[in-house]
Amino acid sequence: MKRIDLRRVALGLAAPLLAIVVAFVVTSLILLIAGDPVGAVWAQLIDVPLPRQVVAIINAATVYYLSAIAVAIGFRMNLFNIGVDGQYRVAAFAAAVFAGQAWLPGPLNIAVSLLVAMAAGGLWAGIAGILKVTRGVSEVISTIMLNTIATFLVSFLLSKAALRVEGSNAVNTRPIPESSRVPGISVDGIIATPNLIYGFIVLAVVVGLAYWFVLGKTRFGFDLRTTGRSETAAVASGVKVKRMVLTSMVISGAAAGLVGMPLLFGQDYTYGDTFQSGLGFAGIAIALLGRNNAVGIVFAALLWAYLDAQGNGLQINAGVSDRLVLVIQGVIVLSVVIAYELVRRAGVRMEQRRVASQLAAARTPSPETEGAAA
C-alpha cells in the first residue's frame, strides 16, 4: 500500500515538473526565434522579487485564488463555469453599490455586503444553471453569453448609479465609508516594506478551507463529486442530479461573487470602469494548474502572480515586452493539462500491470490472463 502511495506522489509531482520543463523549453525556443535575449529574460524572471513585489504577489494571488476556487467548484461537478468573469463583476458592482450606501455601521456593512456579493454572483450563475437543468442549454455557451451581457448590464447600471466627480472622467460608484474598509496587514516585521497585504486574505483562507471541507469531507461534497464523475452512478445512489447541477452552479457563482471583494474593500473602495477585469479567465487557468485541489491552487495562484510581477520588469531589464508572461502562462497551462493526461495514462497502465502481475501470481499463470491484462 505504502509503495503505491509513493508512486502516486511521484506521478503527481512528475506532471507539474514536466510541464514547467516543457514551458521553459518552448518559451526559450520562442525567444530564440523572435531574436530576444534568452538569458536576460530568464535572469529577470528568476530574480528574487523585492519586498514590495512580494506583497503585490501575495495580494494578486489572493484574488486569483478566490477566482480559481469558484471555477474549481464547477469543475469538480464536471461543469465548466466560464462565467466567473461576469459573475464577479456583477457581484462586485452590487456589493459596491450596497456598501457605498452605508446603511449599516462599520463591520456589519462589510458582512452584509459580502452576502450581497454572493447573492448577486449566485443569481447570475443561477441563470446558466436554470437554463441547463430546464432547457438543456450547455453552461459553456450560456455563461459566455452571460459574461458579455454582464459587461453591458454593469456599464449601464454604472452610468445610472455613478457618482460624478468634478473635473474627472472616471465613472465610479459611491466610495465605501472609512469605517467599512478592511485594513491591510502589515508585514514590515518580516520583510521590510510599508505595503500592506489585503486583510481579506483571511477570506481566501476561509473559502479555501470551506472548499476543502465541504467537497472532501461532507456527504454533499461526495454527492457532488460523484455526479461529476458519473451521472448514472449518482442517479443510482439517489442523487437528484438536476438539483445538484443547479446548486453547484449557484455555489460556484456565490464563490465567484467574492473574487472582487479584496480589491473592493482593501484597495479601490469603489467600483468603476477601471476595476480589474479578466480575473475569471485567469481563474480557469489557475484551477487547471492546481488540479482543483485547495492546496494545489495556492501554489498555482502564487506562480501566476509571481510571473505577473516579474514580468513587469522585463521591458526595463531585458528589453522584452511584458506580454511574454502571457505566453509563458499559456504554455504552462497547456503543457500541464497535457502532462497530467500523459501521467494519468501512465498511472493507469502501471496499475493495470500491477493488478495483472498480482493476478498472475495468485493463480497459475496462463496466457489468457496475460492477454486480458494487456
Partner 1 sequence: MSDQGLVITTGLEAPPPPRRPIHRARWFWFAVIGGAIVVLSTVRVITGAEDIDSSGALTAAIALAMPIGLAGLGGLWSERAGVVNIGLEGMMILGTWGGAFFAYYYGPWVGILGAILLGIVGGAVHALATVIFGVDHIVSGVAINLLGAGAGAYLAVRTFSSLPGGGPTQSPPLPQLPFISIPWLSDWLGQIEETGWWLVSDIAGVLRALTTNLNVLSIIAVLLLILSWWILWHTPFGLRLRSCGEAPHAAETLGVNVIRYKFMAVLISGGLAGLAGGFLVLVASNLYREGQVAGRGYIGLAAMIFGNWRTGGLAGGAALFGYTDAIQLRGGGDVVRAYLLPIATFLIAWGVWILVRRRQGKPVVGVVTLILGILSAVWFLGVTRVSNEFTGMTPYVATLLVLAFASQRLRPPAADGQVYRKGEST
Which residues bind to partner 1, rule: CB under 8 A? 30, 34, 36, 80, 82, 131, 135-138, 140-142, 144-146, 148-149, 152-153, 155-156, 159, 281, 284-285, 288, 321, 323-331, 333-334, 337-338, 341-342, 345
CB 79, min distance to partner 1, A: 11
Chain-centre distance of CA 40, in angstroms?
Answer: 30
The least CB distance from residue 144 to partner 1, in Å, is 5
Smallest gap, in angstroms, from Cβ of residue 75 to partner 1?
Answer: 9
What's the closest the beta carbon of residue 157 comes to partner 1, in angstroms? 9
Residue for cell digits 499559456?
Answer: 330
Judged by beta carbon, residue 75 or residue 198, the one nearer partner 1 is 75
Least separation in angstroms between residue 2's CB and partner 1 is: 31
Q: Are 173 and 163 in contact (CB under 8 A)?
A: yes
Task: Pick the closer one to partner 1 by CB: 96 or 131.
Answer: 131
Nearer to partner 1, 266 or 283 (CB): 283
Question: CA end-to-end span of the chain, whole Å?
Answer: 23
Query: What's phi and psi for 186, nearest 5 deg?
Result: -80, 135
DSSP 33-59: HHT--HHHHHHHHHSPPPHHHHHHHHH
Query: Whole-number minimum distance, CB 103 to partner 1, in Å?
Result: 27
| 191 vs 346 by CB, closer to partner 1 | 346
Q: Per-residue b/e over 288-305, b at no fewer than 16 CB within 10 Å?
A: bbbbbbbebbbebbbbbb
Smallest gap from Cβ 345 to partner 1, in A, equals: 8
Kindly tell me which of 255 and 324 has the beta carbon lying closer to partner 1.
Answer: 324
**Nearer of residues 159 and 366 to partner 1, judged by Cβ:** 159
**Cβ atoms 117, 107 nearer than 8 A:** no
DSSP string, 77-126: TT---TTHHHHHHHHHHHHHHHHHHT-S-HHHHHHHHHHHHHHHHHHHHH
CA torsion 346→299→291→267, rounded to 10°? -160
Residue 336 · residue 19 · CB < 8 Å: yes
If the CB atoms of residues 338 and 356 are measured against partner 1, the closer one turns out to be: 338
In degrees rounded to 5, what are phi and psi of residue 303? -60, -45
8 Å CB contact between 295 and 69: no
